Amino acid sequence: MNHIPSRRHLLSTGLGLAGLAALPALAQDKFPSRPITLVVPFPPGGSVDIMARQYSEPLSKVLGVPIVVENRAGAGGSVGAQYVARAKADGYTLVVSSQSSHLANPLTQPKVGYDPVKDFENIAILGRLPNALVVHSSLPFKTFKEFIDYAKKNPGKLNYGSGGVGSMGQLNVEMLKAATGAFTTHIPYRGGTPLITAVLGNEVQFILDNLVIMLPHIQAGKVRALAVANDQRLPQLPDVPTLAEVGYPQLNLTSWIGLAAPGGTPDAVVQTLHKAVREVATSPAMVANLKERGVIAPEEMTPAAFEKMMSERLVKFGDVVRKAGITAE
């Protein structure tokens, strides 16, 4: 005798099959389930690259998947940033962002190819990098005031270096010039490594740039820090005043290095990554590691607050770029 399956049996079987069919989809929705690539838009050895590699291993442990660091250098960070902006918005391709790639470049490169706010989901700050005004140790300036007085009385005689036209090193000094009335001449270099060589060799008399790259040379006595562009003195340089202390509170030019995903990445993925970064950033090992390198451990900043800060700095530095007529072709 043939049994004709009841409607209820067919329905329950159909639901069961549907449930089985949905299992792979549910598994695919779990994030992360495969390796994540951290794109560093600069060559190996710089501060952004170092930060990426400091975070990659502990982030891998927290997220439970391999983290691969990939350098995609070019155009002052624009090549790597543009690559991630166009990547699939699934959280598996991220960019280690900085003020160079996500602030200076969009303001100074007419064909940068991405919008630093609209084309990215800003996840978290990895660390803050104080900038310092550094001069060669052979120069007579012992204080910031002596330096500015000389620069104002001898316009154009002091040269400053940066990592390139339109770099944050140039924008920082242009803000300094606007605030103090000093006139100095810009000498651009192709990146941080030749810039360090130029400063150590006294090819340029000063920089207002990333302290991390200069701290070992300051401690060795090869160059001298006259002021730090931070809201408070640094434990590594307790005798060096802040620019606010010497009369220029508007020159709090602390930089940041962050993590960003392509625009449109699901909020749940962004929040998972944000939580993982905060777990790593607040660990005693990472706090000690960052401090040793002269990096300020990042405060809690939600993705929304990160985006707000980005928008505000784009306005602030945009004014400097327009007034100074800075264009990096």
> What pLDDT digit, counting tens, does each position of 134-156 carry?
999 999 999 999 999 999 999 99
State how far the Cα of 4 lies from the Cα of 215, in Å rounded to an integer.
82
State how far the Cα of 127 lies from the Cα of 122, in Å rounded to an integer.
14
State how far the Cα of 162 lies from the Cα of 212, in Å rounded to an integer.
15
Q: What is the pLDDT of residue 46?
A: 81
What's the mean pLDDT in 73-90?
95
**pLDDT class for 329, splitting at 50, 70, 90?**
low
The better pLDDT of the pair 124, 44 is held by 124
Please, what are the domains in the chain?
A: 36-129+255-324 (3.40.190.150), 131-251 (3.40.190.10)
Q: In what order do the strands lie in the sheet with 206-210?
A: 185-188, 159-162, 206-210, 131-136, 223-229
The residues with which 255 forms a beta bridge, in sequence order, are 129
pLDDT tens across 152-174, in order?
A: 999 999 999 998 899 999 999 99
Per-residue pLDDT for 20 more than 80? no
Q: What is the pLDDT of residue 28?
A: 52
Q: What is the pLDDT of residue 187?
A: 96
What's the mean pLDDT in 205-222?
92
What's the mean pLDDT in 113-120?
95
Per-residue pLDDT for 289 more than 60? yes
**Percentage of residues of the chain with pLDDT beyond 90:** 74
Per-residue pLDDT for 291 more than 90? no
Q: Which two tokens stand for residue 139?
A: 């120069």
In a 10 Å sphere around its CB, with 0-12 CB exposed, 13-18 middle and 19+ buried, how is residue 144 labelled? Answer: buried
Torsions phi, psi for 52 (to 5 deg) = -60, -45
Would strands 159-162 and 185-188 be described as parallel, antiparallel, or unpaired? Answer: parallel
Per-residue pLDDT for 234 more than 80? yes
**pLDDT class for 10, splitting at 50, 70, 90?**
very low
Q: What is the pLDDT of residue 29?
A: 67
Q: Are 294 and 119 in contact (CB under 8 A)?
A: no
Per-residue pLDDT for 293 more than 70? yes
Q: Which two tokens stand for residue 8?
A: 């209820």
Q: Are 224 and 205 in contact (CB under 8 A)?
A: no
Per-residue pLDDT for 3 more than 80? no
Question: In the predicted model, what is the mean pLDDT of the chain?
Answer: 90
Q: What is the pLDDT of residue 25?
A: 44
Q: Are 77 and 101 in contact (CB under 8 A)?
A: yes
Name which of 8-22, 69-83, 86-100 the model is least confident about: 8-22
Single-letter amino acid code for the residue at 283: S
Residue whose tokens read 């501060």:
47
In the three-class reduction of DSSP (H, G, I as helix; E, B as strand; rest coil), residue 242 is classed as strand
Q: Which two tokens stand for residue 54?
A: 């400091």
State how far the Cα of 140 lies from the Cα of 132, in Å rounded to an integer.
18
Q: What is the pLDDT of residue 58?
A: 98
